[in-house]
């Protein structure tokens, strides 16, 4: 596994290498030892999978507030997605900046989104599936979200939005007095 730094502090891209032969391919998706630089002493406590049917659909931008903040390690295991992290960390030099990475099973990339960052993605290929590893349990009362189309963030989604949940349609733009998350 190769760990790549991004412009956002503690947001990483992890590249996995596939071993390919006549039978197909084998890839290591997670290795605690190899990812210790990224995960530190955090434990993976929950693994989730999502399937999104429509090309252009968006899931996000979601996060959990402290003390239930979580690091997410995200892979696309089928299809193709444009995966986005937004820095919401109070005092961060990249506060309210975003970083995006195309994830596919073939490119073997995983986006690591730390505590204090929002996460979301847009589906670039129908029936895309995502695998998420979480370092905290989902806590509904700690859930937060950003408007995917917030003009202050200006996320450059690659496709027109075709589908978004009712909850995410009603997310409010960030106000000027938003100070961020303390993690």
Give me the residues paired with residue 5 across strands.
12
Nearest to 53 by CA among 128, 160, 124, 104: 128
- The catalytic position among 62, 99, 148, 170 is 62
d(CA 30, CA 44): 10
DSSP code string of 70-122: --EEEEEEES-EEEEEEE-BTT-TTTT-EEEEEE-TTTTEEEEE-TTEEEEEE
CB of 132 closer than 8 Å to CB of 72? yes
Beta pairing, strands 81-87 & 98-103: antiparallel
Catalytic site residue 132? yes
**134 has catalytic annotation:** no
Catalytic residue selected from 5, 30, 63, 132: 132
Report, as residue numbers or ranges, the catalytic residues.
62, 132
């Amino acid at each position: 596994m190769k760990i790549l730094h991004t412009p956002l502090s503690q947001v990483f891209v992890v590249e996995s290498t596939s071993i390919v032969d006549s039978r197909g391919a084998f890839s290591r998706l997670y290795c605690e030892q190899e990812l210790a630089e990224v995960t530190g002493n955090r434990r993976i406590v929950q693994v989730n999978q999502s399937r999104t049917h429509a090309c252009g659909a968006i899931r996000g931008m979601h996060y959990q507030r402290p003390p239930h903040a979580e690091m997410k390690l995200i892979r696309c295991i089928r299809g193709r997605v444009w995966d986005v992290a937004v820095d919401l960390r109070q005092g961060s030099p990249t506060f309210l900046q975003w970083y995006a990475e195309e994830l596919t099973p073939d490119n073997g990339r995983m986006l690591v989104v730390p505590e204090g960052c929002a996460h979301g993605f847009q589906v670039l290929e129908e029936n895309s599936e995502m695998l998420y590893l979480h370092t905290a349990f989902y806590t509904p009362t700690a859930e937060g979200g950003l408007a995917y189309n917030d003009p202050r963030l200006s996320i450059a989604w690659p496709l027109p939005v075709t589908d978004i949940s009712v909850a995410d349609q009603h997310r409010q733009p960030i106000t000027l007095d938003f100070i961020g998350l303390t993690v």
